[in-house]
A and B are shown apart, each in its own frame.
Chain A
Amino acid sequence: MDLSAINPVVLTASLMVAATPILLAAIGELVVEKAGVLNLGVEGMMIIGAICGFAIAVETQSPLLGFIAAALGGAVLSMLFGFMTQVLLSNQVATGLALTLFGLGLSSLMGQSYVGIKAPSTPSLNLGPLSDLPVVGKILFSHDLMVYVSIAIIAGVWYMLRYTRTGLVLRAVGESHDAAHALGYKVIRIRLLAIGFGGACAGLGGAYLSLVRVPQWTEGMTAGAGWIALAIVVFASWKPWRVMIGAYLFGGITVLQLNLQAAGAKIPVELLSMSPYLITILVLVIISSDRRRAALSAPADLGKSFHASL
């Protein structure tokens, strides 16, 4: 075993890249769930984002336009979920699952003519002398724009939920839609906006896969990332910075296990391969061991339908 072959600096830099898609999707879902809506369609919205972003980036040769299109695509698809669950009051779990299936199918239809095409490359930001700093430069200042955007979204969501009136209203809607309604807040409108935001974030996460991390279009390329994002929201007990920790932890273990294998570590590969999932389960168990606390951190009206006349 030659562990010296693993460079911790390079490893940290690549785990940030590996974690960004689930980070984006998870922070979007966090806002949705904070508003009291459980949208299990993250996977579907991600993959729609992946193909929308890829198609537009290829057609315009601009990754930036691609990301914008991905956010729009994810948001539009999420509005389908929003309309069904908020206006027609359909079951959120079933609708979310259907959204995932629909998204997977629709994306492979849309992607028919994009198989085997190369995406325009997304350049790393040139931060000049900052990128040349030892260690810190490689870890913090050598990424593409979307890595910073994802962190900015985390910070923004945290600030919004904690310090702004908008955040308070959003949380109120998630904790007790009846009370929020009685106070005169437009519960359905607020939830639709949250769902749209979640869709846009998931779309961005998908596009990060198809434009930066992989970068190409293949059917089913999200390969379950949306479900991991959902788990990370619970793992983070609905707190934005913990979403980041969760995503980086998951991304980190994924990357680390591949690096350990490449370095020839004498650890059973099966164990390494399942380690990201094992650790996720372990942390979930630890977090939920205090039942009262776990119950407190979940929005009280999560997954419940709201109708003004009820």
Chain B
Amino acid sequence: MKLTKILAAATLVSGLATAAVAEDPTKVGFVYVGPIGDGGWTYQHDQGRLAVEAAYGDKVETVYQENVPEGADAERVLTQMALSGADIIFTTSFGYMDPTNNVAAKFPDVKFEHATGYKREHDNVSTYDARFYEGRAILGTIAGHMTQSNKIGYIASFPIPEVIQGINSSFLHAQKVNPDVEMVVIWAYTWFDPAKEADAAKAMIEQGVDVILQHTDSTAPLAEAAKTPGVIGFGQASDMAEYKPSPRVASIIDEWSPYYVKRVGEVMDGTWENGHSWGGMAEGEVVIGEITAPVPADVKAEAEAMVAAITSGEYHPFTGPIFKQDGSVFLAEGEVATDLQLVQMDFYVQGITAEIPQ
């Protein structure tokens, strides 16, 4: 029968084709918490994915899944990716911590990289993070100089150490240049909800806040700030350049490309090892976007000098004396916070009046 012959040939050919494909490229998976089009956090991770493709061309194949809820769904997505032959999977949100470790236990040959977490229960799990507090120090300095009302606002996502570091770092540096400054914190309990972020920004502005920092991923707070003259904000995670020159006067950019390219390369040549990576300005993972005209030249120069000092390792944003909110000593004069102290940070520094939700 002719037909069976053709079918058999077709099966053979397609079988060969899949075998050839399966052998060759390293398959890299990415799990995103929001849409790529968020213009912030997820967008930057996807830029990192594209950098991996650009760096290795045909030798890699990348797959990604957007809008994956943190929790049981993430486990399902991860299992699916691992089953479909991924060699390394990057899970790009704090809430994927347990799902990542759970799935890693089932697929010892697949490498897992979890962003912003700390659990590495298996040999095939690594964690990576960026020292966002370094960038927050710069934004805090600018905020302290720029505020007219002496009230700056921080739209926070979840009460985890990374966010608390950001709040403390920006407040400390705002206070350093402006001792009268007050910090208003709103916990949005979301990483991405444009309407809620806009409402939070609005509530702040109505209460006299004129500089808004955000730790949520959409550009909505900037759009809200744009409605009231004199209110400024900062790009978060990505440059958010469309709000230049004002209300966006600077930005803190997450640059994951160097890390992703490095780690995928290590998987390809077999030198990948698990561990924790915490890069900052020095590694090029935290970048401050262009500081625009509404910021006076001397403030801009001060901010740029601080970027240089942090990059060279000369200055650490958490250098004592720093007191906790209750007045007890966190760091003595000249003492520098250890990484362990930073990743366990669960208190506000002195001067912030609000309380951290438990």
Contact = CB atoms under 8 A, between A and B. Distances in A.
Contacts of B198: 213-214
Nearest to B240: A116
Interface string B32-47: 0011111100000000
Contacts of B70: none
Contacts of B34: 219-220
Interface string B201-232: 01110111100000000111001101100000
A220 B357 contact: no
B200 A218 contact: no
B105 interface: no
Instruction: Tell me which of A255, A266, A269 has the highest count of chain B C-beta atoms within 10 A of its own C-beta.
Output: A269
A135 interface: no
Contacts of B226: 118
Contacts of A222: 195
Contacts of A261: 185-187, 203, 354
B355 A255 contact: no
B206 to A, nearest CB: 5
A10 B203 CA distance: 9
B196 interface: yes
B278 interface: no
Interface in A13-56: 14, 18, 21
Interface stretch (A64-72, A107-115, A175-183, A286-294): A107-115
18 contacts: A5-B207, A108-B35, A117-B242, A214-B220, A214-B223, A218-B35, A218-B220, A219-B67, A254-B199, A261-B186, A261-B203, A262-B204, A262-B207, A262-B209, A264-B184, A268-B357, A269-B187, A270-B357
Interface of A: 5-7, 10-11, 14, 18, 21, 108, 111-112, 115-118, 121, 209, 213-216, 218-223, 225, 254-255, 258-259, 261-264, 266, 268-270, 273
Interface residues of B, number: 44
Given A112-B37, A115-B37, A218-B38, A258 B219 contact: no
Interface in B152-206: 153, 184-187, 189-190, 192-196, 198-200, 202-204, 206
B353 interface: yes
Contacts of B206: 7, 10-11, 14, 259
Nearest to A263: B207
Contacts of B202: 14, 255, 258
Contacts of A255: 199, 202-203
A258 B199 contact: yes
Contacts of B218: 218, 221
